[in-house]
Amino acid sequence: MKNPDLEQLKTENTELKKYNQKLIEQLKKLNKKLVESEAFKSHFLSNISNEIINPFTSILGFSKNILNLKATEISQIYTMANLIYSEAFDIDFQLRNIFAAAKIESGENYLELININVQDFVSETIKNLKIVAERRAIHCDINYSIQEKTFVTDADKFRLILVNLIMNAINFSTEKTVIKIDTELSNEGFLFKINNQGTLISSKDTKIIFDRFIKLDDNINSLNQGHGLGLSIIKDYVELLGGSINFESNKKEGTTFSLRLLPIENNGKTSFMDDEDLFSTDDLEIF
């Protein structure tokens, strides 16, 4: 005859083992996240010198050289001013992504909706990235299909999404190639497609490409190259704006990222800016 107390003890012991196993698995996942987080911090600290301090040093050096040039050496002044702009742009881009990632991690994200003229907004964003593309003799071919003039969105987050997508395409394009951009706006929402020819995204990386803690190419010493920080920000911002982002990458067609944002209804509490205020000459932002 079976002992009821012994059977009950066996059952409880089995349940306890199952509970302990689940707890161990959860602790392993948590530990993995902590390791990834520490790796990200270490990666950031190891790159901060190259990505930010060194460009500042270059800017100081170029500025000093300009001060020592004669008025007749205008061509050299122009060349150095162009280099200063290029270095300042890189610093600005790095810092914006770093601050955006920090806000995302701290959960401080919120929307500031305004009504923008999409074609003007996209055109101005691409125009500000022209110098970066020209460094590698890359041309941007842009096609607009605009049925609705304006679109409600968070302008700062929308701009950083576009800049990261375009910079990603530039960084991974082969020199002297064309980046194709298609922009559509209708009453169904906003669609932005960007295609580049160059480094492809392998199939094994498709599930981790938007993870800010994983860098696909350890040989690339950059926070923004290697498909890490920039694309993770895009994903978080797109989700915050109620949209989606996906991509295709193959030898025949290259790499194409597709961004879709749905219309955001105004709740009556949102303050709207005029389109011309977005790109005021008083605005000192590089993008």
Residue 215 φ/ψ, nearest 5 degrees: -110, 120
Query: Any idea where the domains of the chain sit in the sequence?
Result: 113-279
Lowest mean pLDDT of 11-15, 210-214, 276-280, name the range.
276-280
Q: For residues 52, 57, 58 and 63, what is the CA-based torsion angle, rounded to 10 degrees?
A: 130
- The CATH superfamily of 113-279 is Histidine kinase-like ATPase, C-terminal domain (3.30.565.10)
CB 233 within 8 Å of CB 104 = yes
| pLDDT at site 286 | 56
Strand partners, 178: 139
Give 246's pLDDT tier (boundaries 50, 70, 90): very high
| pLDDT at site 287 | 62
Distance from chain centroid for Cα 94 = 10
How many Å apart are CA 40 and CA 116, to the nearest integer? 35
Give 2's pLDDT tier (boundaries 50, 70, 90): low
Tokens of 30: 């948590």
3-state SS class at 150: strand
Distance from chain centroid for Cα 59 = 25
Q: What is the mean pLDDT of the chain?
A: 81
For the stretch 183-227, pLDDT in tens is 999 989 999 999 999 989 887 777 778 876 555 454 333 433 444
- 7-35 average pLDDT score: 81
Give 269's pLDDT tier (boundaries 50, 70, 90): very low
| pLDDT at site 76 | 87
Distances (CA, A) of 121 to 60, 135, 144: 32, 23, 12
Strand partners, 150: 117
Give 270's pLDDT tier (boundaries 50, 70, 90): very low
How many Å apart are CA 89 and CA 81, to the nearest integer? 12
- 149-165 average pLDDT score: 94
- The three-point CA angle 232-158-174 to 5° equals 60
Task: Tell whether the model's pLDDT for residue 95 goes beyond 90.
Answer: no
% of the chain surpassing 70 pLDDT: 79
Give 75's pLDDT tier (boundaries 50, 70, 90): confident
